[in-house]
Structure 1
Amino acid sequence: MARHARNAVPALGLRANAAQFSLLVAVNALVGGMVGQQQTVLPLLATEEFGLTGFTFIFTYVAAFGVTKAIANYFAGMLSDRYGRKPVLLGGWLFAVPVPLMLIFAPDWGWVIAANVLLGINQGLTWSTTVVMKIDLVGARQRGLAMGLNEAAGYGAVAVSSLLAGYLAGQYGLRPAPFLLGLFYTALALLLSGVFVRETRGHARLESRTHVPRADGIHDHLHEDLTGRQILVQASLREPALSSASLAGLVNNLNFGLAWGLFPLLFATAGLPAAQIGLLFALYPGVWGAGQLATGALSDRIGRKHLITAGMALQAAALAVIAASDGFAGWAAGTVLLGAGTAMVYPTLLAVVGDVAHPAWRGRAVGIYRVWRDLGYAAGAILGGITADLLGLHAAVWAAAVLSAATAAVVAARMYETLPPRTG
């Protein structure tokens, strides 16, 4: 009976795959928790234990994380299309094993950077793979909902872990207590991924066999047998929806990378304690994570383009509020708005990639999109660090606000609506 169930013909849809989908949501929450355990703590560790003062130097760990995660995204897509999703997921979690220990015992900042290189590989391989697996399972009709649930779990866990790590740091010190969370997350994720998660590439093959091109001919140039180089060019430059999504993803994560490295330092200028800094930082991914429960499904009903445009514009306004503030109330309002704008954009961009990419090269398309998106971490760290060193912390936030507003304009002008027309 167990062998028959394992070899059963796959079915597409959220309800038909509820158990596996829910398990992958839980795994992705653990992926997000690995980031959240360090976001509140590492900027404080840099200044208080290692005596670092230059913002650009402090942000090197964010840049190292972003670059390695971006590269890992590319290989996650390529390898998952070639060898299957589950082996890539398991391999990604193996890279996470030493990360908490390196942060606990780090004698200098170089160890922190090295730990974030490994964490970037872990995040790129595991998060990309869970995204592709969920798109595989649900089929065409519920991509937005699937991505909303996936990203809500991941970034909700970032928020909860950031808050919990800030509390642990305030109660027990910056090390080792906050990083014990990562040891627990890694052990649980290896158990779930190794024993209970099942391969989903068969679902992608099923969708590929039943794939029907759009009647309006928009995707006629994106056929099944594109080469890896052709996919890269289309997703980066030529295809209007895919390339616009890549740009919006990059700027969105530029904001996140800047917030990761800069916000705790900005909030500390007002003399706020670690617990309040942790609360402020948790508001951003908290609203972001919870909001995606609604925005992903909303994009399945009203479409993708206008939600993305409005979300980038709201992020610009939120960053302007943060830049213009100098106390808890203004920063709290700004981070809530920033989380709301990000929630409108994040799952919707992934749904755009799922709409446009053929099932045969979906993993590679998601990987390339996430390469550009996660290079935003490094761009945010570099932009934030250099601008903060030259002009101050508030000026760095203003720069990100301008870039977000410009991106909203580009998406409005270039992206077409990708939500497949309803039939029947």
Structure 2
Amino acid sequence: MARTKAGSAPDSTRVALGLRQNLAQFVLLVAVNALVGGTLGQERTVLPLLAGQVFHLDLYTSALTYILAFGLSKAAMNYFAGTLSDRYGRKPVLVTGWLVAVPVPLMLILGPSWGWIVAANVFLGISQGLTWSTAVIMKMDLTGPKQRGLAMGLNEAAGYLGVAVTALATGYIASAYGLRPGPFLLGAAYIALGLGLSVLTIRETHHHAKTEASQHVSAHKSADAGLTTGRVFTLTSFKDRSLSAASQAGLVNNLNDGLAWGLFPVLFVSSGLNLNQVGILAAVYPAVWGAGQLFTGAASDRWGRKWFVVTGMIVQAAGLAIVAAAHSFGPWLTAAVLLGIGTAMVYPALLAAIGDVAHPTWRARSVGIYRLWRDGGFAIGALLSGLLADLYGIPAAIATVAALTAASGLVVAVRMRGNDHITG
């Protein structure tokens, strides 16, 4: 068995690509990503309320600093996760991500000032960037090109169902036992379990990517194997039509998710909803998002990525517009379902589109750069929505982001090629 910088790699002739051939490891990685999502979900219902009720932050911009810190740190780590996993292997990056998360629940429970909460979200962002990006890359490695949409759908479904279940659970825990410490003890349990599974059961997958590279037929002329990281960044961000269209759509998608995370609970509570109702609304959006991806990822393998993305962005925009206009639980529940459906259409299709176009030898870097832009949307969304909410109110902030989301879908319609999902 040959040894490489990326870990132990068996003879490539004995490495099989495909979901069925690697089912046990794939299922374990799905479970790990559900725990990654749950670690994020511990904050979705509780932290916006903690900002106002415990730390007495009045301005929305100040209250949303934790999302800004999370978005910037996660975006940066997404970029480095791809490069590090190519250099040192996927598993060491995954384990490191879990280790970084260890202090987060304690900081959220014991933090005496808002600065501690912001610092905890820096650690959480680093952890999420390393763990979630690596889980994506490892599933792409295992499945190969023909089931990439299905793989991304299962990956993102697990992660966001983890977010949803935990957002719902923490809403109930907070209503019964208070905002601290109960909700964050659940996050601590997730971190312990995720770290244990990653250390003891997950195996290295870099050699699967090398096997695919040896069999790869380029999706287009730019997809040669010898690109520098700078060239990969330029292609993914600006020059390649499909890669850059996916990157901007990912950024806008998470911009509106950052808005939903930071301002929706505040809007709902200020309109008279109780914590249980807020928890339900905070959970329905990622639950529909997560469950929907079980179908949309595989469907994009059959029908292509482009129009799933375009339609999904328009549906998200409609959901946001309803949130901005409504004043009660029923319409907001409908809007949460629409947001979930739209995001389910977009999320796995965008990731799979990156995997379709990028060559296997630089795919991990391209995924990392895409996720840099996508999760940078959290930071931009926190700043933009906070400033607009301070100046014009929460409904105006939500309406503005709805318009941006619709415009992003139109960019994809014009710019993304329609046949990049047809791979070898």
Mapping of residues 83-94 of structure 1, within 5 Å: 83-94=88-99
Report if the CA contact (8 A) 2:36-2:159 is conserved.
yes
Cα distance in structure 2, aligned partners of 1:143 and 1:16: 14
Cα distance in structure 2, aligned partners of 1:276 and 1:300: 37
Which residue, 139, 144, 149 being the options, matches 1:144?
149
Cα distance in structure 2, aligned partners of 1:380 and 1:175: 26
Cα distance in structure 1, aligned partners of 2:28 and 2:225: 30
CA offset digits 1:49-83 (Å, max 9, x no partner):
11111000000000000000000001100000111
Give the SS at the match of 1:416: coil
The residue number in structure 1 matching 2:162 is 157
> Structure 1 residue 169 and structure 2 residue 174: aligned?
yes
TM-score by length of 2: 0.96
Q: Which amino acid aligns with 2:343?
A: T
Q: Deviation of residue 417 (structure 1)?
A: 1.8
> Structure 1 residue 382 and structure 2 residue 410: aligned?
no
CA offset digits 1:279-319 (Å, max 9, x no partner):
01111101000000000000001110011000001111111
> Structure 1 residue 240 and structure 2 residue 241: aligned?
yes
Cα distance in structure 2, aligned partners of 1:331 and 1:420: 35
Cα distance in structure 1, aligned partners of 2:12 and 2:180: 47
Cα distance in structure 2, aligned partners of 1:250 and 1:361: 21
The residue number in structure 2 matching 1:205 is 210
> Structure 1 residue 17 and structure 2 residue 22: aligned?
yes
Report if the CA contact (8 A) 1:352-1:418 is conserved.
no
Mapping of residues 5-404 of structure 1, within 5 Å: 9-214=14-219, 219-404=220-405
Give the SS at the match of 1:272: coil
Percent identical: 60
Instruction: For structure 1, list consecutive stretches of 5 or more residues without a partner in the other structure.
Output: none
Q: Which amino acid aligns with 2:157?
A: A
CA offset digits 1:132-191 (Å, max 9, x no partner):
000000001000000000000000000000000000000101010000011101110111
Q: Which amino acid aligns with 2:186?
A: L
Number of equivalences:
417
Q: Deviation of residue 4 (structure 1)?
A: 12
Q: Deviation of residue 6 (structure 1)?
A: 11
Q: Deviation of residue 7 (structure 1)?
A: 10
Q: Deviation of residue 359 (structure 1)?
A: 0.5
Q: Which amino acid aligns with 2:18?
A: G
Instruction: For structure 2, list consecutive stretches of 5 or more residues without a partner in the other structure.
Output: 1-7
Give the SS at the match of 1:360: coil
> Is the alpha carbon distance of 1:4 and 1:168 closer, same or farther for their aligned partners in structure 2, counting shifts above 3 Å?
same
Report if the CA contact (8 A) 2:148-2:301 is conserved.
yes
Runs of 4+ aligned residues of structure 1 deviating over 6 Å after TM superposition are: 3-8
> Is the alpha carbon distance of 1:220 and 1:68 closer, same or farther for their aligned partners in structure 2, counting shifts above 3 Å?
same
CA offset digits 1:3-50 (Å, max 9, x no partner):
999999220000000000000000000000011011100111111111
> Is the alpha carbon distance of 1:8 and 1:189 closer, same or farther for their aligned partners in structure 2, counting shifts above 3 Å?
farther
> Is the alpha carbon distance of 1:211 and 1:348 closer, same or farther for their aligned partners in structure 2, counting shifts above 3 Å?
same
RMSD of Structure 2 on Structure 1 (CA): 1.5
CA offset digits 1:84-116 (Å, max 9, x no partner):
100000000000000000000010100000000
Cα distance in structure 2, aligned partners of 1:229 and 1:64: 25
Cα distance in structure 2, aligned partners of 1:62 and 1:23: 29
Report if the CA contact (8 A) 1:355-1:418 is conserved.
no
TM-score by length of 1: 0.96
Report if the CA contact (8 A) 2:243-2:354 is conserved.
yes
> Is the alpha carbon distance of 1:210 and 1:335 closer, same or farther for their aligned partners in structure 2, counting shifts above 3 Å?
same
Report if the CA contact (8 A) 2:12-2:211 is conserved.
no
Q: Deviation of residue 421 (structure 1)?
A: 3.3
Q: Deviation of residue 420 (structure 1)?
A: 4.0
Cα distance in structure 2, aligned partners of 1:419 and 1:26: 29
> Is the alpha carbon distance of 1:201 and 1:4 closer, same or farther for their aligned partners in structure 2, counting shifts above 3 Å?
closer
CA offset digits 1:212-239 (Å, max 9, x no partner):
234xxxx112200000000000000000
Cα distance in structure 1, aligned partners of 2:370 and 2:62: 28
Report if the CA contact (8 A) 1:319-1:398 is conserved.
yes
The residue number in structure 1 matching 2:4 is none
